[in-house]
């Protein structure tokens, strides 16, 4: 009986640890690789009780639409997903309608343009990869939907933030290849993407000052949400399971003591 009780306790402890790890770790991870030291940011979504700052997410969406969307798409997001950022249904309809999509064929067999609907995926800035390469010096701008997850081994959101603020003047004596820019966070310190952020390049709707650091932080958190929109729900479920297992463990210990008390009486 004592041995069985110990086995049950150990199994519950192991199960709790597994649930905790699954709660904290992202759904998708990459193998470790060499990365430059990054300054860790205080992301609100980190930790078992972490959650996304929806005000920051909305600012990040504004940075994406007004800066990043000129070159980068997000093909795994629909406009209706913006409801999770705190936008109302009417606001989502209005935000989607700022874009046009090609639809069809109609009854005459022709394709036509219409305003985007909440059910549509985010509009790509280019019709195809070939057009994207032509417009970007033969470099294909990556899709940003899963960028934070794909860069998990390099720091995830920390890497994206460091990249956004990492554009500097090249050190004296160094020579950059034609068409490349110096960035302290990028491997090799040479990157094809021009600096996307400048002070006050946009006006945040909530009045927040649009510094490079603020815009970089907000868009990095927005991309973290885009890569793992179920994070908050997963953490809530994991926390409930841990609480349940904790209560079950206490009951098991109390039951064991009661059984052994009777056995020795």
Reading the block at residue 93, the tokens are 């309809």
User: Is 106 part of a structural domain of the chain?
Assistant: no
Distance CA 44, CA 27 (A): 18
Closest C-alpha among 120, 148, 123 to residue 73: 123
Q: List the structure tokens of 116.
A: 């985007």
Give residue 23's pLDDT band: very low, low, confident or very high (50, 70, 90).
Answer: very low
Checking if the pLDDT of 35 tops 70, the result is no
User: Could you tell me if 219 and 207 lie in one domain?
Assistant: yes
Are residues 36 and 20 both part of a single domain? Answer: no
Shared domain for 192 and 165, answered yes or no, is yes
Poorest-confidence range of 2-6, 55-59, 116-120, 155-159? 2-6
| Contact criterion met (CB below 8 Å) for 28 and 149 | yes
Do 264 and 148 share a structural domain?
A: no
Nearest to 201 by CA among 55, 62, 54: 62
Does residue 46 belong to any structural domain of this protein?
Answer: yes
Residues 6, 18, single domain; the answer is yes
Please answer whether residues 123 and 101 qualify as being in contact, where contact means their C-beta atoms are separated by less than 8 angstroms.
yes
CA 92 vs. chain centroid, Å, equals: 20
Task: Report if residue 82 sits inside a domain.
Answer: no
Q: For residue 114, tell me if it sits in a domain.
A: no
Asked if 175 and 243 sit in the same domain, the reply is no
The per-residue pLDDT for range 169-221, each reduced to its tens digit, is 999 888 888 889 999 999 999 999 999 999 999 999 999 999 999 999 999 99
Kindly state whether residue 158 falls inside one of the protein's structural domains.
Answer: yes
Most confident by average pLDDT, 26-35, 50-59, 100-109: 50-59
In a domain, 110, yes or no: no
In a domain, 76, yes or no: no
Please check whether residues 238 and 171 belong to one and the same domain.
Answer: no
CATH number where 213 lies: 1.10.760.10
Q: State residue 14's pLDDT score.
A: 54
Domain residues for the domain of 196 are: 32-52+66-71+144-229
Of the chain, the percentage scoring pLDDT greater than 90 comes to 60
Q: What is the pLDDT of residue 21?
A: 46
**Is the pLDDT assigned to residue 161 strictly greater than 90?**
yes
Claim to verify: residue 12 and residue 38 sit in the same structural domain: no
212 located within any domain: yes
Torsion region of 168: left, alpha or beta (phi above 0 gives left; psi -120 to 50 gives alpha): beta
37 and 23, same structural domain? no
Please state the pTM of the whole predicted model: 0.79
**How confident is residue 224, by pLDDT bands cut at 50, 70 and 90?**
very high
What's the number of domains the chain is made of? Answer: 2
221 and 160 both lie in a single domain: yes
For residue 51, give Cα distances in angstroms to 43, 140, 191: 9, 33, 32
> Are residues 148 and 262 part of one domain?
no
At residue 265, the pLDDT reads 65
Looking at the structure, do residues 163 and 237 belong to the same domain, yes or no?
no
Binned at pLDDT 50, 70 and 90, residue 9 comes out as low
């Amino acid at each position: 009986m004592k041995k069985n009780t110990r086995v049950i306790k150990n199994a519950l402890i192991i199960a709790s640890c597994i649930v905790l790890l699954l709660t904290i770790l992202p759904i998708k991870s990459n193998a470790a690789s060499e990365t430059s030291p990054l300054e860790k940011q205080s992301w609100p979504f980190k930790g078992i009780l972490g959650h996304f700052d929806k005000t920051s997410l909305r600012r990040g969406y504004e940075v994406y639409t007004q800066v990043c969307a000129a070159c980068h798409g997000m093909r795994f997001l629909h406009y209706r997903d913006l409801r999770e950022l705190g936008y109302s249904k009417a606001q989502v309809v209005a935000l989607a309608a700022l874009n046009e999509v090609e639809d069809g064929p109609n009854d005459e067999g022709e394709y036509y343009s219409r305003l985007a609907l909440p059910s549509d995926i985010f509009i790509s800035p280019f019709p195809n990869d070939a057009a994207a390469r032509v417009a970007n010096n033969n470099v294909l701008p990556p899709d940003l939907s899963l960028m934070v997850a794909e860069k998990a081994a390099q720091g995830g959101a920390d890497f994206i933030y460091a990249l956004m603020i990492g554009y500097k003047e090249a050190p004296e004596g160094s020579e950059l290849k034609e068409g490349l820019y110096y960035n302290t966070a990028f491997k090799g310190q040479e990157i094809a993407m021009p600096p996307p952020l400048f002070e006050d390049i946009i006006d945040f709707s909530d009045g927040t000052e649009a510094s490079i650091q603020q815009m970089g932080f907000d868009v990095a958190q927005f991309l973290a949400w885009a890569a793992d929109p179920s994070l908050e729900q997963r953490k809530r479920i994991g926390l409930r399971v841990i609480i349940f297992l904790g209560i079950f463990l206490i009951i098991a210990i109390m039951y064991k003591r009661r059984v052994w008390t009777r056995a020795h009486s």
